[in-house]
Amino acid sequence: MIKIAPSLLSADFGRINEEIAAVHEAGADWVHLDVMDNHFVPNLTFGPPIVARMKKREGLVYDAHLMVQNPDSLAEAFAKAGCHYITIHAEATHHLQRSIKHIQSFKVKAGVSLNPHTPLNVLDWVLEDLDMVLLMSVNPGFGGQSYIPQVTRKIAQLRETLDKRGLGRVEIQVDGGVNNDTVKEVVAAGATCLVAGTAVFGQPDYKKAIATLRELAAQAKK
Ligand code: DX5
Ligand code: ZN
């Protein structure tokens, strides 16, 4: 089943625990935590102490997307704060395989994210070490941007590579501009986990928003 991961970037930060509860009750599988440092991306959000204060709900996966330089020094703190997945950017670390193993040493899953212009082949020699690949479908930093259409071909190529190499267990997460208009092509290309900020938190009815995304995703899988 396709996982839906609402991004808290578009939530009301003043009521963050209520927002997390609301999307979980509305059917979210994961909650996506966009961590920004104003160096790797031109925006600033939150760090491990805030994530530690987020109420951990049984069955909900806390998925940290670190848009930061030098992510190695933060991995342990995010693991201790209760994250199940920690995703770093390939562009933000020099020793990617070491960084992946470093995250996994804290008994959490490791993801690597690629900016829209970064070629897939930077992952060639680390794919078997990974739990997830996050393909950015906007330039990271802000919610509410439009999906970059050529990323669909990138998702399809990654799907093909993973299947060929017997790595079907690796999640393909897509992040940026996923909404009712784009979800079908993203899923048809092979994504398994959808980040959705505006398409969930920007809607008055979270349950309806998640159900619609799920329904469209199911149609695309047929
Ligand atoms: C962008 C973030 C995304 C963003 C997605 O840097 O990584 O998670 O919040 O927002 P939407 O779904 O509104 O494009
Ligand atoms: Zn994100």
CA 108 to ligand 1 centroid distance, Å = 22
Is the CB of residue 47 below 6 angstroms from any atom belonging to ligand 1? no
CB 154 within 8 A of CB 119: no
CA 100 to ligand 1 centroid distance, Å = 23
Nearest to 33 by CA among 206, 222, 197: 197
SS percent in the chain: helix, strand, coil, step 5: 40, 20, 40
Question: Measured from the CA of 179, which atom of ligand 1 is nearest?
Answer: 12
**What would the mean pLDDT of 59-88 be, rounded to a whole number?**
98
Is the CB of residue 202 below 6 angstroms from any atom belonging to ligand 1? no
pLDDT at 153: 98
Catalytic residues: 34, 175
Q: How far apart are CA 65 and CA 16, in angstroms?
A: 17
pLDDT at 152: 98
Categorize the per-residue pLDDT at 182 as very low, low, confident or very high, splitting at 50, 70 and 90: very high
CA 22 to ligand 2 centroid distance, Å = 19
Specify the residue with its C-alpha closest to ligand 1, atom 9. Answer: 143
Categorize the per-residue pLDDT at 222 as very low, low, confident or very high, splitting at 50, 70 and 90: confident
pLDDT at 7: 98
pLDDT in tens, 108-152: 999 999 999 999 999 999 999 999 999 999 999 999 999 999 999
Long-range contacts of 58-63 (CB under 8 A, 24+ apart): 59/24, 60/20, 60/24, 60/28, 60/29, 60/30, 60/31, 61/3, 61/5, 61/29, 61/30, 61/31, 61/85, 62/30, 62/31, 62/33, 63/5, 63/30, 63/31, 63/32, 63/33, 63/87, 63/173
pTM over 0.75: yes
Specify the residue with its C-alpha closest to ligand 1, atom 6. Answer: 140
pLDDT at 162: 98
pLDDT in tens, 76-102: 999 999 999 999 999 999 999 999 999
Categorize the per-residue pLDDT at 220 as very low, low, confident or very high, splitting at 50, 70 and 90: very high
**Residue 221 clears pLDDT 90, i.e. is over it:** no
Cα distances (Å, whole numbers) of residue 88 to 51, 101, 128, 136, 154? 16, 12, 16, 12, 19
Average pLDDT, the chain: 98
- Residues lying with their CB under 5 A of ligand 2, a single-atom ion: 34, 65, 175
Mutation probe of ligand 1 site: the residue of 134, 138, 210, 213 with most atoms within 8 A of C-beta: 138
CB 81 within 8 A of CB 51: yes
CA 68 to ligand 1 centroid distance, Å = 15
**Residue 165 clears pLDDT 90, i.e. is over it:** yes
